[in-house]
Amino acid sequence: MVGENENFSKISLSPDQIRQILSSSEGQALIRLLQRDGGKGVQAAAKAIREGNTEAAQQALSPLLRETNGENLAERLRQKLE
């Protein structure tokens, strides 16, 4: 999974591209997935990223992405960004 995260970290998106992705069905599914635990995983990941700890950020989001839909969703979003 680290390799996948490295691919995502190299992507540069404009605000319009971000809006387009978030308004897509995959983007909406991502938002629902990230809100599933009340946003705690996302908050923990954001804090870890601010502190420069990408490993902790990955661990915070890992339970969400391990879900069947989470892994499939991550792959669909990665494909949209190519």
Q: What is the pLDDT of residues 1-35, one digit of tens each?
A: 444 444 445 567 788 888 888 898 888 888 888 88
Under the phi-then-psi rule, with left for phi > 0, alpha for psi from -120 to 50, and beta for the rest, what region is 22?
A: alpha
**pTM of the shown model:** 0.58
What gap in Å lies between CA 58 and CA 16, rounded to an integer? 26
pLDDT tens figures, 26-59: 888 888 888 888 888 889 999 998 999 989 988 8
